[in-house]
Structure 1
Amino acid sequence: MTYPAPRPPAPRSGADVAISIVVLVLTVVMGAAAVFFGVFSLAFLDHCPPETCSVDGAVNAVFTALLVAAGVGVVGLVLTVVALIRRATAWPYALATFALCALTLFLGGVGYGAAVG
């Protein structure tokens, strides 16, 4: 009995790999900047008047946004890498990860703004 020869793997798109890596690196840089500015913004809440400002609300908004963005980033990274390993198109996963992290951080900034009045 003879078995058919295995099919060679599909060619990997260099542009797909490059775009995916660049977008994921930009996502990490955006996350690092968000951590820096988020913690920096919380450092100056000691002059926050209690009648118009909620320190607890500001802390919750910043840390919730950072944790959710980190979770979205890890899931997006895994999905992108899996797509690259399978030689499927991966850049949409990387771009969606960037967009969802940016949206999460924006909403955290809105929550921070609402908390500090």
Structure 2
Amino acid sequence: MGHPPPATPPRSVADVAISIILMVLTVLVGAGAAFLGLFMLAFLDHCPPATCSVEGAVTSVLSAVGIVALVGVLGIVTSIIALVGRKRAWPFTLDTFGMCLAMLVVDWVAFSAAVGG
């Protein structure tokens, strides 16, 4: 004679919807940033050595894309684990989206400094 299994907590529709929307936005912003970063580097034809560092520009773009990808994947995996465990996931996805945006702002400043803008 065993005990009945514990009831699973209800899943919040709002939490799932917000989490999915923020995960999709994170992926879209990351992909858009990678695309724009590639074009920023591709059209860096005129870079006077006195005020511009091509290596600095490449480093800023590649490091930002790499960090945003890493943070995005870790945040999305954490959010999915929370959703599967029927726990609140939207704080994880919101933090992930915010950290990705913050990294892109830092990259924009670093890129501007590297190209003398």
TM-score with structure 1 length normalisation?
0.97
Deviation at residue 46 of structure 1 after TM alignment = 1.8
Structure 1: where are the runs of 5+ without partners?
none
Whether 2:47 is the aligned partner of 1:56: answer no
What does residue 20 of structure 1 align with? 19
What does residue 112 of structure 1 align with? 111
> Identity across aligned pairs (percent)?
53
What does residue 85 of structure 1 align with? 84
Deviations 1:5-47 (A, max 9, x none): 1112111111100000000101111111101111111111121
Paired with 1:78 and 1:36, the residues of 2 have a C-alpha distance of 23
Q: Helix, strand or coil for the counterpart of 2:97?
A: helix
Runs of 4+ in 1 over 3 A off after TM superposition: none
Aligned-residue CA RMSD in angstroms? 0.7
Deviation at residue 72 of structure 1 after TM alignment = 0.0
What does residue 101 of structure 2 align with? 102
Letter in 2 for 1:71: L
Letter in 2 for 1:27: T
Deviation at residue 67 of structure 1 after TM alignment = 0.1
Q: Helix, strand or coil for the counterpart of 1:34?
A: helix
Q: Helix, strand or coil for the counterpart of 2:45?
A: helix
TM-score with structure 2 length normalisation?
0.97
Q: Helix, strand or coil for the counterpart of 1:47?
A: coil
Deviations 1:46-69 (A, max 9, x none): 211011000000000000000000
Q: Helix, strand or coil for the counterpart of 2:6?
A: coil
- How many residues align structurally? 116
